[in-house]
Each structure stands twice: as C-alpha cells, then as structure tokens.
Structure 1
Amino acid sequence: MKNSNFFKASILALGVGAAFNSSAAITDDISKAVKDSKVDVSLRYRAETVDQDGTNEDALASTLKSRITISTGKVFNLSAKVEADNVSFIGNDSFNSTVNGKGTYPVVADPEGSEINQAYLQYSGNIFTATAGRQRINLDDQRFIGGVAWRQNEQTFDGYRLQVKPLDALTLDASYVFNVNRIFGEDSDKSDLSGDLILLNAKYAINKQHSVSLYNYSLEFDGAAAGTSTNTMGATYNGKFKLGGTGLAVKAGFANQEDAGDNPTTFEASYSVLEVMANFKRFSVGGGIETLGSDNDVGFSTPLATLHMFQGFADIFLNTPKTGIVDTYVKGSTKIGGVGLSAAYHMYEADEGNAEYGTEANIAAAYKFNKQVSGLVKAASYSADDFATDTTKLWFMVTANF
C-alpha cells in the first residue's frame, strides 16, 4: 500500500515537474522571441523632375517615404512582421501624383498617404516556409512579378505563399494572391487589383554557375481589369562562363502568354530575352535584345512586374503597345572612387510592322556614405519617333536605414 502511494506520488510529481518544465520552455521561447525581435526605420527622400513634350508644365516632385518595420522572433517556428509606410510631400508638389488633381503636369506616381505595406504571419520549417497575409513577392529578376520598390509606395500582395526546398539545388515557390496593393495609394481607384492569381515558380541550380527557372503565372482579375487576364508560362536560364580573364554572364528566356479568365479577347503572344555581359576587373559591358510580342492587337503584358527595371528608366513603355516592342540595348557599369557609375542606351521598335518607337539614354551614379546612408543621382532621356513624346527625367535620392 505504501509502495502504491509512493508510486502515485512519484507519477504526480513527475507530471507536475513536466508541466513546470514545459511551461518554462514556452516562457523561454517567448522570451527569446522578444529578444530576437527588432524594429527597423527607413527614410528615403527623392526629388524627381519630368520635362515631357505635350504637357503644359514641367513636373517637380519632392517626396519623403518613411517606413517602420517590426519583425518578431520565432516561437515554435512562427514569426510575424508588420511594416507601415508614409509618403509625404516635402516642399514642391508640382506634379501629377495620379490622385492630386494636377493633370496639367506630367505623372510622377508617388501619391501622399499612409498604409500598411506588409502584415503577415510566417512559419519556417526545415525545408519549407509558409507565409499568410500582406507580403512582398519578388520572383526571379522581377520581370513578371515584383514589388516595384523604386516607387515610394511599394506594390505588395495579399495572399498565401509556400516556399519549399526539397533539395539544395531546387527551390519551389507557389503563391495564391487575391489582391494586389498597387503603387497608386489608397485614395486611387487604381489602388487594388483583386482576383484569383496563382504564381508558380521553380528554380534549379545546376551548379554555382548555371541555373534554370520555370514558371507559370495565372492572372485572373476581377471587374474592369478582367480584360487584362492572362496566363504566362516560360523559362529563364542564367549562366556564368570564363573566357581567359573575362567573365561572361548570359541570360536567356522565353515565355508564351494567352488570354485567361474573363478576358474578352483571344490572343497568344510570345516573350524572349537574350543578354550577354562581359565582366572585367574594373568594369562590365554588354547588351541584349528583349522582345514582347503581340497578337490580335494585344501586346504581351507584365502588369505585376517591377517595370522601372526594364525598357529604360523613363517608363515610357509601362504598357506594351498593341504591335509589341523590341528593345535592343547596350549597357555598362564601373566604380570610380567609391562611386558606382552605370549607363545604358535603348533602341525601341515595333515587333509587328515597321514602326520605330524611339531611343533612350540612361545614366546613374550611386554612392554609399556609410552603412546607413546612401545616395543616388540618375537621368533618362527618351527621344520619340513613332511613339509617345520626347521625355527627360532626373532623380536625386538619399536613403537612410536604421
């Protein structure tokens, strides 16, 4: 009887001890998560000028983006992030922000306002990461899916994302997005794109020098945007080669796009890119040709891309012309005295027909003052032939991260 009571008491003691140990472990995890949490602050001031033929006034936009980001540590592999942005006019606001009613000025799509840029819950396992909520999604080089981080109000996505790495060389990425928070801000009727968007991407690293990405992006938009619904399937190869003392970087890609969802127009258009860059010790130089085709008077579209990174800084071709576009370009970069310098020259023409759209020159200079503060000056000059009008843009930007 005494042994039985002793046995029961021992079991009870072990249970209580286990409960205390479990509670202590949870408390330790929460304590560590709090310690691992961090707050980041980012400030980005930019002055942008636009001189565009056909508008009554030149634009001058002076804006400040203020961002605060709160990232928690992990509790049972769960973490959260909340990021809030504010865009304010600092001094001059002589530009068309798309919502301020100043239609006599050229567009600088940096409207005033505050909004939640990201807010999500994330689970990180051994081979996969699952994210639910408002989030940034940048796939490959952002030619099809990106955050448009150049604009003061970033593009983010409401939905669910699963990233799986079953092998060291293989990364699988799948997202379901039901709303896109666009760059135009909450006060614009173009602020959101809702629908059923399925983003599938697989990247395989053959080795350290060569990789291949396969993707399928199904964009079925609601409402008035349904007319732009598409399905795009393609592949991109990136490779690095050594030729003597010269390094060659090669990018080659192809995609096919067709109508989807409630798009009333039947079409099938193609995309291709081939770029070769030669990397020397002190500079890089190269060029390429990128083609967005057309069919049935519909141009190959990339509505969720970070478009400022492609087809010139002047942003003349944010929407592909109905006869498509061929962008033949040369570019180069170097660094002198800590200043990063780059330049590019583009020649644009129609993919169908004989139209010569125009040419564009881009230059940029970037300098990092210290770990927190960096500066950028860049310019774009578009000379029109058969498309749009002559446009010159100049930017001065300072970014500080804390």
Structure 2
Amino acid sequence: MKKMLLALSTSLLAGTAYADSSLETFMKNSQTKLDLRYRFEGVEQEGFVEDAAANTLRTRLSFTSGSVSGLSMGLEFDDVRHLGSDDFNSTGNGNGAYPVVADPRGTDLNQWYAKYTTGSFTATGGRQRIVLDDQRFVGGVAWRQNEQTYDGVRLQAKTEIFAADYSYVAQVNRIFGPEGNGATINGDVHLLNGAWSITEGQKIVGFYYHMDFEDAASASNQTLGVRYQGSFDPFSITASYATQNETGDAPVEYSADYFLIEASAKVSSLTATAGYEILGSDSGIRAFQTPLATGHKFQGFADKFLGTPANGIEDAYIGAAMPIGPVKVALTYHDFKAAEGSAKYGTEWDLVVAYAVNEQLKTLIKFADYSADDYATDTQKIWFQVQLSL
C-alpha cells in the first residue's frame, strides 16, 4: 500500500510539475503588443452640402501565447474612438448629411482563437483573420479602423511545392463595429485554396469559394477560379480567371466571369505597373461580386466600386512607385468603363506618400480624386495617418 501511495504521489507531483512547466512556457514565450493608429479622413463629394472630416483613433491590444505541445492561443481587442466633432457619416452615428467614413466607434473582441501546429499542418479555431492571395476575394479590410475577421475553423498544410488552405466560416464580422448596422453576416461559407509552386518565382493557385449567407442572400455566390504569378527579374506578371454564379437563397440567377492581367517592371528604383481587370455581367442582370474582398485595395481608393454595378466594370490602370530618399511615393491612374454596354463610368487618380520614422512609428498621406462620367459622383478624399506599434 505504501508503495502504491508513493507511486501515486510521485505521479501527481510529476503532473503538477508538468502543468507548472507548461504554464510557464505558455506565458514566458507569449507576446503582448499595443498598436495605436490615428487617422484623419476628409471627403468632398458632389451631392453633399457638407464635407466630411473624421478624426479617429484605433487602439489595438494583442496577446499571443507560447506554444505547448503544438497548442497556442491568441486574443486581440480593438477600440475605435471619434476625436472631436462627428462631422461625417460613420454608418452608425446617424449623420446622413455628410459623406461616409465607415469607421463607427466601438470596442470589439477582434480575434480569439486556439491554434494547433504539428509539422507542416496548422488548425485554427475561433475568431481569426483570413487573408487569401492578394485579398481580391477574401481579405481583412485592414485599411478601415474596424477590421473584418471570421468565426470558424481553418486548416492549412504546406510542403515545399504545394500549399492547401481550407476554411469553414459561420460568421463574418464586418467593418461596421460590434453594434453597427450589418455588423455581422451569418451563413455557411467554404473557402478552398490550393497553391502549386511550379519553379522558384512561379506559382499557380486554384480556388473555390462557396458563400451562402443567411443575412445577405443577395450576396450569396460560388466562385471557381485560377491565378498565376510569375517573376522574371526585372519583370513580373499576374493573371487570373474565375467564373461565378448564384447559390443558396440568392434571388437572382446569373453567371459572370472575372479576368485580370497585370504586368510590372522594375528599373533602378522605379517600379511601373499596368493592368486590366474585368468583373463581368450577365446581360446587366447581375454582375460578378466580391463581398468578402478587401475592396479598398482595388478599383481606386475613393471606394466607388465596393459593390460591382449591374453592368459590371472594366478597370484599365497604370501606376508608378519609387522611393525619394526615405519617403515612398506611388501614383496610379484608373479608367473605369462598364463591362456590359458602352457606359464610361469615370476616371481616378490615387497618390500615396509613406514615411517610416522608425520600426515603431509610421506616417502616411493618401489622396484620391474620382471624376465621374456615367457612374456615381465626383469625389475627393484625403487621409493623414500616424501609427505607433509597441
């Protein structure tokens, strides 16, 4: 009996020691980060008597634990405050007399997840970021002060030449804050993405995205596509094709195609880019949609085409980027037309000037000037941003 009690005591002590050791590893190897992002956004838009002027501050506190037997966890809180007067329509403050600056105030649990990693396989469950490829179809909309995150399960596996990525999403937490109109979308969303590295610098990606939304049936769609990226120093090329149709309880049947061709070349410190992107239309009934994309990255910073017009859109663009000393400057011109019919939507100039004071402190100035022809209204936007990461 004494031997049995001694063995049990030893086992319990060992288990306690292991638990203490695991907790120590969990906390000792953890990381806590604080990120402050102040932004001024001004909007002058035809049709509004008043101009928008938004001063907002996003405070982000992030915690990532150490890994114990492949298990780790993450927490992230975001708080968005309006500084000074609410002279803008945040989509949640009722100021409809002003143009929209979609940064409603609020405090949100931006991420909470558990992750398990073994070898080349990773499984993540909970609220998390999901960013696929260039975010043309699935992204985080991180430009807005309230980020888009996803509640679900993500499975990832990677070898030297192939990577597979599958996510099931039950809820999308959108940019309108925890309590804003349309803050979340529920449904059954399946995101499947596979990448094959043909050679160094060349990759083919195949993807299938099934988005069946309960709260936004009109946006429900399924998309099947392929993407190629090739780098041939000093040139690079990206080409993509996808086809889309309705799914779930979508009220309209349609079939539309997506096409992209983009080429860039680097000469000394200058990088020049030219591209042509089409989001097609089914005879003007319904156009190709990208409801989970980071739309601000595409078709102009003025955000006039976050939802694709019924006649689709053709975007022909050219741009140049280069550093001027420690300052990075990029200028892009867009020419927008309808994919179906002959309508000329408008043109846009976009300018970005970025300066990193150091690794922790970064500043940014952006400007967008959309000149309307047959779609939307003349709009000018300007941003000034300071971001401190600790």
1:272 aligns to what?
A: 259
Deviation of the 1:22 alpha carbon: 5.0
Distance 2:178 2:19 in 1: 40
Deviation of the 1:274 alpha carbon: 0.3
Aligned with 1:99 (options 83, 88, 92): 92
1:216 aligns to what?
A: 208
| 1:380 maps onto 2:371 in alignment | no
| 1:191 maps onto 2:191 in alignment | no
Aligned with 1:177 (options 152, 159, 169): 169
Q: How does 1:323-402 map to 2 (within 5 A)?
A: 323-402=311-390
Deviation of the 1:92 alpha carbon: 3.4
SS for the counterpart of 1:146 is coil
1:316 aligns to what?
A: 304
**CA displacement, residues 13-34 of structure 1 (integer Å, 9 cap, x when unaligned):** 7776566445434432221121
Distance 2:251 2:338 in 1: 24
Distance 2:91 2:16 in 1: 54
**CA displacement, residues 115-169 of structure 1 (integer Å, 9 cap, x when unaligned):** 100011111111211111110100000000000000000000011111112x222
Distance 2:103 2:345 in 1: 27
Distance 2:334 2:204 in 1: 27
Distance 1:208 1:50 in 2: 44
| 1:59 maps onto 2:47 in alignment | no
**CA displacement, residues 350-394 of structure 1 (integer Å, 9 cap, x when unaligned):** 001000000000011001001100000010000000000100000
1:38 aligns to what?
A: 31
Q: How does 1:300-315 map to 2 (within 5 A)?
A: 300-315=288-303
Distance 2:27 2:179 in 1: 36
Distance 2:68 2:263 in 1: 46
1:141 aligns to what?
A: 134
> What one-letter code is carried by the residue in structure 2 that aligns with 1:89?
H
> What one-letter code is carried by the residue in structure 2 that aligns with 1:327?
D
**CA displacement, residues 228-279 of structure 1 (integer Å, 9 cap, x when unaligned):** 210001011111013xxxx001000000000101112111000010000001
Distance 2:335 2:85 in 1: 33
- Whether the 8 Å CA contact 2:91–2:181 is kept in 1: the answer is no
| 1:251 maps onto 2:238 in alignment | yes
Query: Which 5+ residue runs of structure 1 have no aligned equivalent?
Result: none
SS for the counterpart of 2:98 is coil
| 1:69 maps onto 2:62 in alignment | yes
> What one-letter code is carried by the residue in structure 2 that aligns with 1:175?
S
Aligned with 2:20 (options 21, 24, 27): 27
Distance 2:88 2:363 in 1: 23
1:125 aligns to what?
A: 118
Deviation of the 1:82 alpha carbon: 0.8
> What one-letter code is carried by the residue in structure 2 that aligns with 1:377?
I
1:288 aligns to what?
A: 275
> What one-letter code is carried by the residue in structure 1 that aligns with 2:74?
K
Q: How does 1:4-15 map to 2 (within 5 A)?
A: none
Same amino acid, percent of matched pairs:
45
| 1:234 maps onto 2:225 in alignment | yes
Distance 1:34 1:186 in 2: 29
TM-score (norm 1): 0.94
- Whether the 8 Å CA contact 2:346–2:375 is kept in 1: the answer is yes
> What one-letter code is carried by the residue in structure 1 that aligns with 2:356?
K
Deviation of the 1:189 alpha carbon: 2.4
1:48 aligns to what?
A: 41
TM-score (norm 2): 0.96
Distance 2:32 2:343 in 1: 52
